[in-house]
């Protein structure tokens, strides 16, 4: 029986331990999983049964004697620890240079160019918490109509505006204009629209955030899958991360639980291809805010929905669970952390209990997915299909012999 569908779920920022090069990124003793396992609110029975705590290098939690899936960890090779570069590498692109960041704010000449292009002045221009910046600059924005522009440790420009002053669609237009300016040396990974509502001091960000990303700089597994006539579904911010390229259908979500509900609903659809899911709450709501208990509760909630997902999988389905970087809620600061990420693989046609050890790149995922669909491996990474697929050696396909 051929593999018909792959469901790839990215637990945004679910790192599992400090990468060898973490110190060069300013990270020391970071371990997202270890931090949240220590919370009294943490319980992930399904992830445990899949083999999460059997992964090489993990010293917290309890191993299971009979993992239901194949399991391993992945080390990032790209120069960066952000969402964009992490997802690009998962999809098969290695990024030799980090995307630009602006710890002191954007240079004055760039701000002038942005203001001239947008036709509005920009307030702030500093790294800032998204909730704090609207508290501190919201009143000035309401009085002047100027946009609030800020950044973070990530490669981003964020533009915030009150919805009564600038409607979300207009804010999106400004972000598209800013995206056209921010290229080349100033090609940040994302320009993010951040609408908010309310009145001082109780301003609140709305769910109408929208990201405008750089186009991926190379061929991704999404490109190859879609060009081969297979369906590619993006749930969450997948469409934004890849600037829509290679994605046939996109579904927005209101949070992790909604994202999983939509993924479960996709199990009932008739399609062949990839459903690519990003669950951003782990990162956005808990990792950056250093909320250990909140992160643990979110992991536990995901695990309950994971049991529902697993129960509805069809024999020709494969489930993969991974992450794009770490964001240790027990670490100092508010930045992402350079960590290994998990890779759990489940399906009727997947050998249970296979220990994949440590793969040298996230791009191992892209190569393996393309190989599962008997497509040429057009991305970075090497497939592990011969290790994980239940098959008779006499039935090995041409791709298998080239791995």
Q: What is the pLDDT of residues 161-217, one digit of tens each?
A: 999 999 999 999 999 999 999 999 999 999 999 999 999 999 999 989 999 999 999
Give the per-residue pLDDT at 2: 87
Q: At what angle do helices 256-266 and 292-312 cross, to 10 degrees?
A: 10
Q: At 109, which helix (H) or strand (E)? A: helix 108-118
Average pLDDT over residues 257-281: 98
Q: pLDDT tier at 392 (50, 70, 90 boundaries)?
A: low
At 138, the pLDDT band (50, 70, 90 cuts) reads very high
Q: Is the per-residue pLDDT at 325 higher than 50?
A: yes
3-state secondary structure of 371: helix
Q: Is the pLDDT of residue 36 over 80?
A: yes
Q: What is the mean pLDDT of the segment spanning 217-240?
A: 97
Angle at 145 between CA 144 and CA 148, to 5 degrees: 100
How much is the mean pLDDT over the chain? Answer: 95
Distance CA 248, CA 274 (A): 10
What number is the average pLDDT over the span 225-232? 98
Q: Is the pLDDT of residue 318 over 90?
A: yes
How far from each other are the two terminal CA atoms of the chain, in whole angstroms? 21
Residue 153's pLDDT band, with cuts at 50, 70 and 90, is confident
Residue 257 has what pLDDT?
A: 98
- Flag whether pLDDT at 403 surpasses 80: no
Q: What is the 3-state secondary structure (H, E, C) of 286-323?
A: HHCCCCHHHHHHHHHHHHHHHHHHHHHCCCCEEEEEEC
What's the whole-number mean pLDDT along residues 51-66?
A: 98
Mean pLDDT across 273-293: 97
Q: What pLDDT score was predicted for residue 177? A: 98
What is the C-alpha separation between 266 and 253, in angstroms, rounded? 14
The CATH number of the structural domain formed by 108-213 is 3.30.70.1250
Q: Which residues is 234 bridged to in the sheet?
A: 250, 276
Q: Residue 275 and residue 152: Cα distance in Å, rounded?
A: 30
pLDDT value for 52: 98
How many angstroms separate the CA atoms of 365 and 384, rounded?
A: 9
> Above 90 in pLDDT, residue 254?
yes
**CA–CA separation, 386 and 1 (whole Å):** 16
**Residue 400 pLDDT exceeds 70:** no
| Burial per residue of 136-157, b for 16 or more beta-carbon CB atoms within 10 angstroms, e otherwise | bbbeebbeeebbbbbbbbbbbb
pLDDT-derived band at 393, boundaries 50, 70, 90: very low
CATH number, domain 5-97+215-401, options 1.20.1250.20, 3.40.720.10, 3.50.50.60, 3.40.50.720: 3.40.720.10
398, pLDDT greater than 50 = no
CB-side neighbour CA atoms (13 Å) of 15: 32
Q: What percent of the chain is modeled with pLDDT above 70? A: 97
Contact 247, 226 (CB under 8 A): yes
Note whether 204 and 197 are within 8 A (CB): yes
- Six-digit token pair at 145? 């109509």
The pTM of the full predicted model, rounded to 2 decimals, is 0.91
Instruction: Give the mean model confidence (pLDDT) for residues 99-117.
Output: 97
Average pLDDT for 358-365: 98
As a whole number, mean pLDDT of residues 284-311 equals 97
Give the whole-number percent of the chain exceeding pLDDT 90.
94
pLDDT (average), residues 149-153? 93
- Residue 401 — very low, low, confident or very high, per pLDDT cuts 50/70/90? very low
How far is residue 322's CA from residue 16's CA, in Å, rounded to a whole number?
10
Euclidean distance between CA atoms 211 and 189, whole angstroms:
10
SS3 173: helix
β strands within 177-223, DSSP E: 190-197, 204-205, 210-213
Give domain limits for the chain. 5-97+215-401, 108-213
Give 28-87 as a DSSP string: -S--HHHHHHTSTT---HHHHHHTGGGSTT--SS---SS-SSEEEEE---SS--SHHHHH
């Amino acid at each position: 029986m051929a593999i018909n569908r792959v469901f790839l779920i990215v637990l945004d920022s679910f790192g599992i331990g400090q990468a060898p090069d973490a110190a060069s990124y300013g990270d020391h003793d970071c371990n997202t999983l270890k931090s949240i396992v220590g919370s009294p609110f943490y319980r992930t029975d399904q992830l445990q049964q899949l083999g999460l705590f059997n992964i090489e290098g993990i010293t917290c939690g309890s191993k299971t004697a009979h993992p239901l899936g194949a399991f391993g960890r992945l080390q990032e090779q790209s120069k960066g620890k952000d969402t964009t570069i992490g997802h690009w590498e998962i999809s098969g692109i290695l990024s030799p240079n980090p995307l630009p960041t602006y710890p002191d704010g954007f240079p004055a000449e760039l701000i002038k160019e942005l203001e001239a292009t947008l036709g509005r002045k920009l307030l702030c221009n500093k790294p800032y918490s998204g909730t704090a910046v609207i508290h501190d600059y919201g009143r000035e924005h309401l009085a002047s109509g100027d946009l609030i522009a800020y950044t973070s440790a990530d490669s981003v420009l964020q533009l915030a505006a009150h919805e009564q002053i600038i409607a979300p669609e207009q804010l999106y237009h400004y972000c598209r204009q800013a995206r056209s300016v921010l290229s080349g040396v100033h090609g940040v990974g994302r320009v993010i629209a951040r609408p908010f509502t309310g009145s001082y001091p109780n301003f609140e960000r709305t769910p109408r955030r929208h990201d405008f990303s750089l186009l991926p700089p190379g061929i991704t597994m999404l490109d190859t899958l879609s060009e081969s006539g297979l369906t590619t579904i993006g749930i969450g911010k997948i469409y934004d991360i890849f600037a829509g390229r290679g994605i046939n259908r996109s579904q927005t979500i209101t949070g992790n639980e909604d994202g999983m509900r939509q993924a479960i609903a996709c199990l009932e659809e008739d399609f062949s291809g990839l459903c690519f899911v990003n669950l951003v709450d782990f990162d956005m709501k808990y990792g950056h805010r250093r909320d250990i208990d909140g992160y643990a509760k979110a992991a536990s909630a995901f695990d309950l929905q994971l049991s529902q997902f697993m129960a509805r999988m069809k024999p020709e389905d494969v489930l993969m669970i991974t992450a794009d970087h770490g964001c240790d809620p027990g670490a100092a600061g508010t930045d992402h952390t350079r960590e290994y990420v998990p890779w759990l693989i489940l399906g009727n046609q997947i050998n249970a209990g296979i220990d994949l050890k440590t793969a040298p790149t996230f791009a191992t995922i892209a190569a393996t997915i393309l190989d599962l669909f008997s497509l040429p491996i057009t991305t970075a990474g090497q497939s592990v299909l011969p290790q994980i697929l239940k098959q008779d050696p006499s039935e090995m396909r041409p791709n298998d012999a080239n791995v």
